[in-house]
Homo-oligomer: A and B are copies of this chain.
Amino acid sequence: MTAEIIIIGDEILIGQVVDTNSKDIARELDRIGISVHQIVAITDDKTHILKTLKDAATRADVVVISGGLGPTKDDVTKYALCEFFDDILVSNKDVLNHIEELFKKIKNTPISELNREQAMVPSKATVLPNKYGTAPGLWMKKAKTVFVAVPGVPFEMRMLMEHEILPRLKEEFNRPFIYHKTIRTFGLGESALAERLEEWENNLPQKIKLAYLPNLGSVRLRLSGKGENEKELISGIEAELNKLYPLIEDIYSENINEDDDITVTLSKLLVSKEQFLCAAESCTGGEVAARFTINPGASSCFKGGIIAYATESKKELLNIPWEIIEEHSVVSGEVAEAMATNAKKLFKSQYAISTTGNAGPKKGESEEEVGTVFIGIATPERVFSKKYMFGKNREQIVKKTVNKAFQLLLRELVKK
C-alpha cells in the first residue's frame, strides 16, 4: 500500500510559499497504514502534470493531487486529469448549486462566470463535496490506482481528507497496520546518543525502523513498524522501548505523541499540578506566549504575558527598577530575573518565563552582541537566568530562545 502526493503550484517552485499540504496529507495517509514513498511538487503546466500522473500510476496505489483547481487561468489540474483519463468536463448540478449558495450566504456577491466553470468536472469522476470552498474534490480510478484531486487551500484540503477521502480509502483498500512511537530526549547530541544506542539499534528486529530527529536542543527517537498483525507489532515495539529506557534514563526523556510540541508536555504537567505560567518577553516579542497558547486548553495553565519591547515598557509595565537596567544593561541576567519575578507576581502565577536579548540586526540599546539572549525562569521556589549566544539570524535567535526557554522550564517541572 503506497501513495504518492503531487503538489501543483508555481508558487512552491519559485520558493514563495512553504508547502504544508503535503505534510498534512502524508500524516493522514500514514496513520491509516498507507505509506507515502514520494512527494513531488511541480508547476501549473499541463504536460508536466500529465507526465507526473503517468509516472505515479506505474508505482502507487493512491495518488493525491493538491492544487490547481482554482477558477483562474493558471489552474490546469482538471484539464490534465481529463487528458490522462481520456475524459471531458461536464457541468455538475450539485456543485453549481453549492457554489451559488456559498456566494449568496458568505460572499454576498453574485456568482461569476469563472465560478460557474468550477462546477465543470471530469465526467468519470466521483465528485467529493467541498463545503468550505468552490472547487470540489475529485475521485477517479485507473486500473487499480485511485487518483484524488483536492484544492490547494489548506483548510479545504484538510476537510476533504477527513470527511471524504480517508473514509473512502479505508473502505477501498486492505491496509497493513502502521505503528510509530516517538521518544523526546534532552541533553545528548545526535551522534553521542547514536553511539550509546548502537548495540540496541543493531539488534532491532528488521521490521522495526529507528530514526533520529534532532531539533534545536532535543533529539527525538522514532520507532516505526508496519505489519499485518497489530498486536504483534505493538508488543514488538513496546518490548524494544523497554530495552531502550534504561539506556537513556540519565537524560530526560518522555514518550510523546508524534506531533506533540514541547508545549503540550508542559501544559499537561502544569494542569496536573494546577499551576499557571506567564511570560515577560522582550526579544521574543510574544512568541513564547503565542507558541504556548496555540494548544487547546492553554487557558487552564497560562495566565498571560507582557511584551516589553521598548525599554520604557520594561520599566513602566513590568516595574523593572531603572537602577537595575542602568547598572546591568537591558540585556542582562539581572533584568531577565527581575522580569520573570515581576511577571509571576503581576499574573499571580507559579511559573514565569522571561526573555531579553538582542535579536539584531542592529545592536539596539544594549552593548551586547547580536545573538546574546538571557532567559529567566521563575518557579515557586526560586528565580534564575541563563545566558546564550544564538548566532546572527533574527528568526533563528527567536526560535532558539523560545525552545530553550521551554526546555529550561520543563526541567524545573519534572524535578518535582
Contact surface of A with B, Cβ cutoff 8 Å: 10-20, 22-30, 35-44, 48, 70-74, 107, 109, 112-115, 134, 153, 155, 180, 182, 189-192, 194-195, 201, 209-214, 222, 224, 258-259, 279, 281, 284-290, 292-294, 296-299, 302-310, 312-313, 316-317, 346-348, 360-362, 364, 391, 393-396, 398
Kindly list chain B residues whose C-beta atoms are within 8 Å of the C-beta of A24.
15
- Distance in angstroms between the alpha carbons of A180 and B11 in the assembled complex: 11
| CB within 8 Å for A303 and B294 given contacts A14-B27, A224-B14, A396-B155 | no
Is A313 touching B309 in the complex (CB atoms < 8 A)?
no
Q: CB within 8 A of A15: which of B13, B25, B288?
A: B25
What's the minimum C-beta distance from A279 to chain B, rounded to whole angstroms?
Answer: 7
Is B18 touching A23 in the complex (CB atoms < 8 A)?
yes
- Distance in angstroms between the alpha carbons of A199 and B39 in the assembled complex: 36
Kindly list chain B residues whose C-beta atoms are within 8 Å of the C-beta of A360.
296
- Residue contacts A-B, CB under 8 angstroms, 14 given: A11-B213, A15-B29, A19-B22, A44-B211, A109-B192, A153-B214, A155-B396, A285-B289, A286-B290, A287-B294, A289-B307, A299-B309, A305-B307, A317-B346
Nearest CB to that of A42 among chain B residues?
B38
Is A290 touching B296 in the complex (CB atoms < 8 A)?
no
Nearest CB to that of A15 among chain B residues?
B27
Is A293 touching B304 in the complex (CB atoms < 8 A)?
no
Nearest CB to that of A178 among chain B residues?
B14
What's the minimum C-beta distance from A186 to chain B, rounded to whole angstroms?
Answer: 15
Is B40 touching A13 in the complex (CB atoms < 8 A)?
no
Kindly list chain B residues whose C-beta atoms are within 8 Å of the C-beta of A114.
191, 194-195
Q: CB within 8 A of A309: which of B211, B214, B304?
A: B304
Is B303 touching A298 in the complex (CB atoms < 8 A)?
no
Nearest CB to that of A400 among chain B residues?
B155
Is B39 touching A41 in the complex (CB atoms < 8 A)?
yes
Is B303 touching A309 in the complex (CB atoms < 8 A)?
yes
Copies in the complex: 2
Is A155 touching B11 in the complex (CB atoms < 8 A)?
no
Kindly list chain B residues whose C-beta atoms are within 8 Å of the C-beta of A16.
23, 27, 182, 213, 222, 258-259
Is B313 touching A347 in the complex (CB atoms < 8 A)?
yes
| CB within 8 Å for A391 and B155 given contacts A11-B213, A286-B290 | yes
Kindly list chain B residues whose C-beta atoms are within 8 Å of the C-beta of A134.
191
Kindly list chain B residues whose C-beta atoms are within 8 Å of the C-beta of A302.
285, 309-310
Is B43 touching A14 in the complex (CB atoms < 8 A)?
no
- Distance in angstroms between the alpha carbons of A308 and B346 in the assembled complex: 11
What's the minimum C-beta distance from A135 to chain B, rounded to whole angstroms?
Answer: 11
Is B361 touching A296 in the complex (CB atoms < 8 A)?
yes
What's the minimum C-beta distance from A265 to chain B, rounded to whole angstroms?
Answer: 16
- Distance in angstroms between the alpha carbons of A268 and B287 in the assembled complex: 22
Is A394 touching B296 in the complex (CB atoms < 8 A)?
yes
Is A308 touching B304 in the complex (CB atoms < 8 A)?
yes
| CB within 8 Å for A290 and B293 given contacts A37-B43, A155-B393, A194-B71 | no
| CB within 8 Å for A298 and B309 given contacts A194-B114, A212-B72 | yes
Kindly list chain B residues whose C-beta atoms are within 8 Å of the C-beta of A348.
312
Kindly list chain B residues whose C-beta atoms are within 8 Å of the C-beta of A73.
194, 201, 210
Is A113 touching B309 in the complex (CB atoms < 8 A)?
no
Interface centre among A13, A40, A74, A258 (most CB of B within 10 A): A13
Is A293 touching B305 in the complex (CB atoms < 8 A)?
no
Nearest CB to that of A99 among chain B residues?
B191
- Distance in angstroms between the alpha carbons of A294 and B290 in the assembled complex: 13
Kindly list chain B residues whose C-beta atoms are within 8 Å of the C-beta of A303.
309-310, 312-313
Q: CB within 8 A of A279: which of B14, B194, B209, B307?
A: B307
- Distance in angstroms between the alpha carbons of A302 and B310 in the assembled complex: 8
Is B212 touching A74 in the complex (CB atoms < 8 A)?
yes
